[in-house]
Amino acid sequence: MSGIKAKHQRLVLVLIALAALIAAALLAAWALRNQASYFYLPADLVARPPETGRAVRLGGMVQAGSLKTAPDGVTVHFVVGDGKARVPVTFTGIVPDLFKEGSGVVAEGRIAADGTFMADNLLAKHDEKYVPREMKDMTEAQAREAVKETS
């Protein structure tokens, strides 16, 4: 590169660095393509199910009356719905404390060939209206008074 002007040398080096960055980004995207976990609502999962065995997340509400514990004590079967569709889910493991019928849940796992979602992990969602157990039966005025007393 001794016969090239310094200005052109810098331009060539910048172009080589840019090409290397683009190549690294493409390589990283290609390597991570199977690691992405897509989020589905039950209606989306029923309408356009992912290929069997692909890791996805299913989010919705645990349907009332659907929660059943298997005789082994660690496997639970329930149905997740969104008002448009329902998907049966099976999970083996310890369920989160906030997990119950009528609550929101995000299940991470795979869809089986029979259409059942086989969850590897459950994330329970709580509502935004948290009230401490001690204040649950108080009226709003009593709760304000209790907060004032502790301040």
Is the same domain home to 18 and 43? no
Is the same domain home to 90 and 118? yes
Is the same domain home to 25 and 59? no
The answer to whether residue 142 is domain-embedded is no
Examine the pLDDT at 1 and tell me if it is beyond 70: no
Is the same domain home to 45 and 17? no
Is the same domain home to 59 and 105? yes
Query: Would residue 4 be called left, alpha or beta, if left means φ above 0 and alpha means ψ between -120 and 50 degrees?
Result: beta
Task: Average the pLDDT over 53-81 and give the result.
Answer: 92
The answer to whether residue 103 is domain-embedded is yes
DSSP state string for 18-31 = HHHHHHHHHHHHHH
Q: What is the mean pLDDT of the chain?
A: 84
Is the same domain home to 57 and 111? yes
Q: How confident is the model at residue 132 (pLDDT cuts 50, 70, 90)?
A: low
Q: How confident is the model at residue 102 (pLDDT cuts 50, 70, 90)?
A: confident
pLDDT of residue 150: 58
Q: How confident is the model at residue 42 (pLDDT cuts 50, 70, 90)?
A: very high
Is the same domain home to 22 and 91? no
The answer to whether residue 19 is domain-embedded is yes
Is the same domain home to 74 and 88? yes
The answer to whether residue 117 is domain-embedded is yes
What beta strand segments (E) does 13-116 contain?
Answer: 38-40, 56-62, 68-69, 75-81, 86-92, 104-111
96 vs 122: CA distance, rounded Å: 7
Q: Which two tokens stand for residue 99?
A: 């997990």
Q: Which two tokens stand for residue 132?
A: 């401490």
pLDDT of residue 35: 60
Number of domains in the chain: 2
pTM, two decimal places: 0.62
Q: What is the CATH number of the domain that holds 88?
A: 2.40.50.140
Q: How confident is the model at residue 31 (pLDDT cuts 50, 70, 90)?
A: confident
Is the same domain home to 55 and 118? yes
- Segments forming the whole domain that contains residue 31: 1-35
14 vs 81: CA distance, rounded Å: 53
Is the same domain home to 19 and 77? no
Is the same domain home to 1 and 61? no
